[in-house]
Structures are given as C-alpha cells and as structure tokens.
Amino acid sequence: MNQIHFIEQLYNKYFPQSFAKGLKLTHISEDMEALPQEEKKKLANTLLSKAEEILSKEDLNAIKLFNEAAQLDPTNPLIWYRQGLAFFEYGTATNNEKALQLASKNFKIAISFDTEIFDFWWAWGNVLFVLGNQKEEYHYFLEAKKKYKQAIGLSKNQTDDILAELYWDRGLIHTKIAEHSGEAIDIKKAIEDFLKSMSYQKEAPASFFNDLGSAYLKMGELINDNNIYLQAIDYFKLATKKSQKYVDAFSSIAHAYTQLYINTLDEGYFTLANKHFEISLEINPLDATLWLDWAQLLGESGKLNRDSKKLRASIEKCIRAKRRDKKSNQIIPQWVESLALLGAYTNRLDLIIEAENKIMKATDQYSDESDLWYSYGICMRAFAMYYDDIDYDFFAIEKFQIGLSLDRSNPELWAEIAATHLALGKDLEDIDMLERAIKFYVKAIDLKPACPSIIFDYAKTLTTLAQLTLNQNTLEEGIRQFEIALSLQKNAILSHPDWIFYYGCALDLLGDLFEKESFYLKAIDIFNNVLLVDPDFEKIHFRLALSFTHLLEVQPKTEYFEKANNCFQIATKQNIEDDTVWLEWALMLISYSFESIDPDNQKKYYLEAEQKLLKAGSLGNQHTYYHLACLYSLCSKFEESINFLEKAKEIDMLPPIDEMLDDEWLDNLRAHDLFSQFLYEIEKKQNI
C-alpha cells in the first residue's frame, strides 16, 4: 500500500486544480475489499479500461478510477504500466509536462515489480525523451539512454518493426546528447543506432532518412569533413524522394551545401545551396529562420567574392526574415554585415552609416550577443576601407575583442580580428601586428580546421611577415599553408586565381632567400597559369618580369633577360602609370648590363634605363633619385650623380651611409672628391 499512498500524493501534486474542483480520491469500499483476489483483478482491469477511455477524452476524473484500480491490484505491474501509457498519451497530446512526469513515475513503479519486461523500459525511455525535448534539460536524455539500454538487453524476441523503432529512438537520444556534449563520439553512436534501425526496416519512411541525414550533418559540423556532408545530403535526398514537400529535408540539404561551399569555395556548391533554399521557401515561405540562413549564404559569398549583387540579395532576404519575425535579434548581424560591405565595395557611405545606426541600436539592447559585436567590427572595417583610415581598423579590433570576451569559440571572430591585424601590419610594416595576426589565425583554424579561406589568409600573413623578417622557416610554413588551402579548393585556378598568384609570390621570395633557380622557375610556372586563366590579372606581367629578373641574378642567361624585358613592356601597357614597374624595369636593365654586357650594348641599356628612371620619377617615385645617382656613377657622370644624391638627401630617401659605401654601382663616384665632400657634409649635419 506504500505505492498507493505515494501515487495519491503525486496525483495531488501534479493535478491540484482537479482536486480543487471537487475530485476526491477515496479508498475502495469494504464490499470491494472483501472480493476474492481474482474478482479484484477483474474489477481492477475494468476500472483501468474505463479510466483509459475517459482520459483519452482529456477528462481528469479518470484519476479516481486509476486510483481505485491500483488499490484493488496494487502489486500488478501492468496496472501501473497502463496508467503510465495513458498519462504518456494524454501528456503528449496536451503538451502537459505534469502528466508526462506522472507517467514516468508510473513506469518506475511498474519496473519495481518486474524488471524483466521489455515494454516497461522502452516506454519509460520514451517519456523521458519527450520530457527532455519539452524542458530542454540534458539529464532527461541521459536517463532515457539508460532505459533504452535496458530495453535493448531485453529485446531478443521482439519483431523487426519493434527493433527498428527502438534503435531509431536511441539514435535520436544520442543525437540530443551530442548537441549538448559537442562530442563526435556521441553523434557516431547515433549514426550506428540509425544504421542498425535501417537494417531492420524493409522500407524506411522519409522522417527516418531525415533523422539519419541530420546525424551525418551534425557529425560534419563537429569534425568539418566534406565527405560526411555529402553522405548527409544523400540521406536527405532519400527523404525528399519519399516526400516531395518535406521542407526539413530540403532546408537541411541547403545547409549541407552551404557548409561544403564554405569549406571548398566551390561555386557549384553555392548554386546547389541557393537552389535548395529556394525550394524550401516555396514550401514554407513564412519561415524566418530559412530566410536568414539564405541571407547568410549570400552574404558569405558576397564577402568572399566582393560581389555587390549577392550582398544586395542578402540584404533583401534579411528584410524578408525580419517581416516574418519582427522580434528576432538574430537577423541584425547579417543585415549589418551585408549593408556595411556593400557600402565599402560600392563606395556608398550612406549604406555604411545605415549599418552603423542599426548595430549601435542593437548592441545597446543586446550587449551580450557576440555576433552583434562581430558585425560592429565589420562595420568599422567598412569605414576603414571607405576613408582609407587605419584608425577605424583599431576601432574594429575593439569591437571584435568585446565579441571574443563573450564567446571565444567563434572562429569568424578570430579570423576577422586576425585579418584586421594583418591589414594594419602590412600598412605599418609592423612585425608585432603580423605576429598577433598569425596567433589569431591559428586559433581560428583550430576551431574551423578545413576552411580554405582562413588558411589562405593565414598563409598570406606568414608570407608578409617573412618579407619583413626574411625568416626562412616562416616563409616555408606560409608556402605549406598555401598548398593546404589550394588542396582544399577545387578548381582554385579558375575560381580563385589570386590564391595561385600569392602562392607564386611566396615561391619567388623563397628563391630570393635561397638564390635557387628552381624556386623562381616554379613561381614563373604558377604565374603563367594565372595568365592563362585571366590575361588581365592585375600585376601578373609585372610579377613575371620580377621573377625573370631574379633568375637573371642567379643565372645571367640571355633568354631570361629577353623574357624579363618583354614582360616589363607588357606590364607598362597594362598600367602605364605604375611608377614601380618603370623603376624595376630600369634596375633590371642596369643590373644585367653591369654584370654581363659588352661596352657597346652596355651604353645602349644604360640609356634605356635612364629614360625609364626619369619616367618613374615623373610619376612620383621618390626612390628614383638615388638610382639615377647610381646610374650616372656607372656612366662616370659625377656631377649629375652628386646632384641626384643631393636631391635624394633633401627628401630623406638616401640609404644609410654604410650601404652607400658598399654599393658597387657607386664605385666610380666614390673614387671622386665630390663623393668625399658629400659624405663630409652628411656627417657634419649628423654631428650637430
């Protein structure tokens, strides 16, 4: 009778409103108590059936009948099990948490009388699963997992249909546990359970394939494996074949293709993701979350490709999402990011200001949302691009730091704070900034290990640092990272020729460090690949000319000189106003003539170099003065040489004295009194 007293307390606890309305629990009458045991069992069963019928109509007077049935046959586990099932069905139908908790207690009592009944454990696991979903409390899923384990241990004689459903249920439990734990092992167990379930099914329904696909999608997100995403898509497609209006499956396909696009930057995956978002929203146009997810895909592609059309489309999808969910603050970050970047790429200050107004209002209201601070940082970077003012980059770093203080597991925040440090490090030639950028990129890659765009930016940062420090290890690591990024990027030469270009630049720099012909030749081969894809690629002919120039310094072959000369000529046609091209062309002519040309040709090339140096100077290149001084020294025009050294000194473009004393192009001038007097004047001013 202890169980009877206990369950009466639960009835009063979970349904106090019913007792307030006059429902009273009474003990069975003396006549009923006097009945033989078999008669009590029959009467208990009759009362139980009546109670089940009444409760199915949502009439809580059933509680009284359940109580009487339990008093008549208190040690019969089926009495408690059937009560549990009735309250389980009632609680599920009415979304009544108290009824579900009562069902759980009934199943617990049933099992206390008989621990070897398969149905008891399975039902108890099911009610705990539903409670976990309703209350979003992790412990219910852990408890449900234990009950399913017991049920599986007792499932030897169950039919295939029952086993299929049981393993399906446990797969869902493991999926929920994985969502909380973030552990790949939990989602792996879910997939194993789903596959076990499928082995018992003759023809699985659409919902099963959707659940199995969702498990693979979750696994893909946890380990960022493209093959897992493709497996997920295969199962989602099976679900859509079973049900052509299965919006969850279509939207999941869109999400999987989105992840594949982010990981590979393959425009084919972007097209497929875009198509499936469109299909999903044709089925359910009122889903604000789907509109936002579509906006994020378009925003990501617009940002990566500097595509204003996609950014406008992203903004339009954000507006649609907001119309369908006016209270959501999750839409603002993407809206702000797309607006700000569109303003920066199209030189529209009004759009950046509009983005700033939105994000200022949002961060005032929701200051603990890291995504908002990410977008605020993007907005500041847009101002930096528009005004060409690095102060805004420092403001952006402040915003990103606030976001990281709220969520240090966000790879986009780490990548953006790294990119901002890279921009500042390049502008200021600041080694510390570049080293911090590298540290931040490493963190971003730890969190998002297969994202080629982040790896590429990391490689570019390493190369930039190597240019300043001439550190061989740093450069070799940069080249290794370029190769990793390119291996992850299908058809990189077609979709991202700039990646190949930067890889070639890194190889060319490696050739400088080792003075090795093979590195220059490999760089030239890379640049030629870029040229084949995009003949108008910015500075491609100039970079080819520089690589041939560097080859000349290692191997002074006539063919390298002719190719360098030809590339410089094309580069000036590509941009006749580029003073650096004219300067480097002149220096190549001087260097080659100085090292390996007969006197007659030497005079000819020196004259050509002079013309190109004067052209570079007319375009504003201040390095020209010193190099003209060197050229005139080689030509024994000493007064002209000193004159240009004086001009270089006036604009503070002279190299240190030690370098001038070692510069072999100034050997002729150094033997002249004019140079001694020039150095004397410099040293005298330095000593004042």
Q: How many whole angstroms separate alpha carbon 608 and alpha carbon 104?
A: 93
Predicted local distance difference test score (pLDDT) of residue 25: 56
Residue 5, pLDDT above cutoff 80: no
Q: Considering only 44-48, 205-209, 437-441, which range has the smallest mean pLDDT?
A: 44-48
Is 504 in contact with 478 (CB distance < 8 Å)?
Answer: no
- In tens, the pLDDT along 313-325 reads 999 999 999 999 9
Check: CB of residue 4 under 8 Å from CB of residue 70.
yes
10 Å CB burial of residue 622 (0-12, 13-18, 19+) is: middle
The tokens for 422 are: 């890279």
pLDDT at residue 451 tops 60:
yes
Task: Tell me the C-alpha distance between 396 and 374, whole Å.
Answer: 9
**635 close to 605: Cβ distance less than 8 angstroms:** no
Tens-place pLDDT, residues 507-523:
999 999 988 889 999 99
- The stretch 549-555 carries a mean pLDDT of 92
Task: Please indicate, yes or no, whether the overall pTM of this predicted structure exceeds 0.75.
Answer: yes
- Assess whether pLDDT exceeds 70 at residue 21: no
Amino acid at 188: K
Chain CA centroid to CA 517, Å: 39
Of residues 268, 264, 266, 328, the one with CA closest to residue 295 = 328
pLDDT digits (tens, 9 = 90+) for 385-421: 999 999 999 999 999 999 999 999 999 999 999 999 9
- Rounded to 5°, the CA angle 151-153-157 comes to 85
pLDDT reading at 686 higher than 80: no
- Residue 1: its pLDDT value, please? 46
**Cα–chain center distance at 378:** 15
In sign, the C-alpha dihedral spanning 308, 310, 311, 317 is positive
Identify the residue whose tokens are 């809206």.
335
Q: What is the pLDDT of residues 609-653, one digit of tens each?
A: 999 999 999 999 999 999 999 999 999 999 999 999 999 999 999
For every residue of 160-210, DSSP letters joined together read HHHHHHHHHHHHHHHHHHHHHH--HHHHHHHHHHHHHHHHT-SS--HHHHH
Task: Evaluate if residue 202 carries a pLDDT over 80.
Answer: yes
What's the rounded Cα separation, in Å, for the pair 218 and 158? 30
pLDDT above 90 coverage of the chain, percent: 75
pLDDT at 33: 67
pLDDT average, residue stretch 660-671: 92
Whole-angstrom CA distances from 605 to 37, 414, 525 are 121, 51, 28
pLDDT digits (tens, 9 = 90+) for 588-607: 999 998 876 677 788 899 99
Q: What is the pLDDT of residues 378-390, one digit of tens each?
A: 999 999 999 999 9
pLDDT at 61 (0 to 100): 83
Residue 54, CA distances (Å) to 47, 57, 60, 187, 384 in order:
10, 5, 8, 41, 70
Arithmetic mean of pLDDT, 109-132: 95
List pLDDT tens digits, range 48-103: 999 899 998 988 888 888 888 888 888 999 999 999 999 999 999 999 999 999 99
For residue 668, the model assigns a pLDDT of 92
Residue among 592, 572, 574, 595 at smallest CA distance from 583: 572
Question: Residue 422 in contact with residue 439, Cβ under 8 Å?
Answer: no
